[in-house]
Amino acid sequence: MTREPLPDPFAGEPDWAPLPPRPIVPVPATDDAELRGRRVLVGLPGLGWRADLRADDRVVQGSRTYIPVIPEHEWYRAEAEQTEVFAPLVPAERVWVETLGEREPEPRVVGRTDVLSRLVSLDGPARRRPVPVGETDAVAGRRVVQVVDAVERRDLRAVTEVHTSVDGDICVRVTTEVEWYRWAWSGQTPKTQEVPVHLLWIE
């Protein structure tokens, strides 16, 4: 008996289009061993979540475990300038770590308005699927992922909206996150790169 091959979830993608990057899947910080420098979310189930934070190594005080958490811009500044910053201690059970899930096919629905398809559980931070930059209204300042030859380039920020380059390509200018935050704390204009939109996703 001949077995039929399993369907390819990425069939139908044009040859020039890279596979989408992996989604962000938050997991409890109590499940993750290495925390220093990791992106985290802080909050309470049923209440809400705060993002754009980085963690340091766990601290044990008495019978409780805490995680030092600082705003991402302060973390980048401390790393770039080798300075100490104040990091509030957050109970470990209130911290979730951003991890990368399995790559999955993109839903090919543009301009979706069905609110029911966006409902999530409040038991934990929601899983975030990458969204093609070409299908979003605004991109400047957003976290983006560039995919080149199946390699994901993360820790990038968009510094412009979608535009046409001098060569006629539809592009977005991006910079590294350390350059993005240095722009804020020092006023130094970041080095940027023009990237075609079909290689970019909102993280």
Token pair 């290495």 in the structure block, residue:
34
- Bridge partners, residue 142, by sequence: none
Per-residue pLDDT at 2 exceeds 50: no
Can you give the pLDDT at residue 113? 58
Per-residue pLDDT at 179 exceeds 70: yes
Percentage of the chain beyond pLDDT 70 is: 87
What is the rounded average pLDDT of the residues 2-24? Answer: 59
| Residue 75 contacts residue 54 (beta carbons within 8 Å) | yes
Token pair 């979830």 in the structure block, residue:
9
What is the rounded average pLDDT of the residues 176-185? Answer: 96
Per-residue pLDDT at 27 exceeds 80: yes
* Model pLDDT for residues 86-117, shown as the tens digit of each residue: 999 999 999 999 999 998 765 555 455 578 87
Q: Is 97 exposed, middle or buried (0-12, 13-18, 19+ CB in 10 A)?
A: buried
- Three-class SS state of 93: helix
Can you give the pLDDT at residue 195? 96
Say which residues have a Cβ less than 8 Å from residue 81's Cβ, sequence separation at least 6.
none
| pLDDT, greater one: 186 or 31 | 186
| Residue 30 contacts residue 124 (beta carbons within 8 Å) | no
Helices 72-81 and 177-186 cross at an angle (nearest 10°) of 90
* Model pLDDT for residues 64-73, shown as the tens digit of each residue: 999 999 999 9
Per-residue pLDDT at 42 exceeds 50: yes
* Model pLDDT for residues 45-59, shown as the tens digit of each residue: 999 999 999 999 999
| Residue 24 contacts residue 106 (beta carbons within 8 Å) | no
Per-residue pLDDT at 75 exceeds 50: yes
Can you give the pLDDT at residue 32? 66
What is the rounded average pLDDT of the residues 13-23? Answer: 74
Structure token digits, residue 165? 């380059």
163-166 long-range contacts, CB within 8 A, separation 24+: 165/194
Q: Kindly list the distances between the CA atom of residue 133 and the CA atoms of 10, 31, 106, 164, in Å, as whole numbers in the listed order.
A: 18, 32, 13, 14
**Residue in 18, 25, 52, 11 with CA at minimum distance from that of residue 200:** 18
| Entry pTM | 0.84
- Three-class SS state of 79: helix
* Average per-residue pLDDT for the chain: 87
CA distance 146 to 135: 15
Can you give the pLDDT at residue 25? 96
Can you give the pLDDT at residue 150? 86
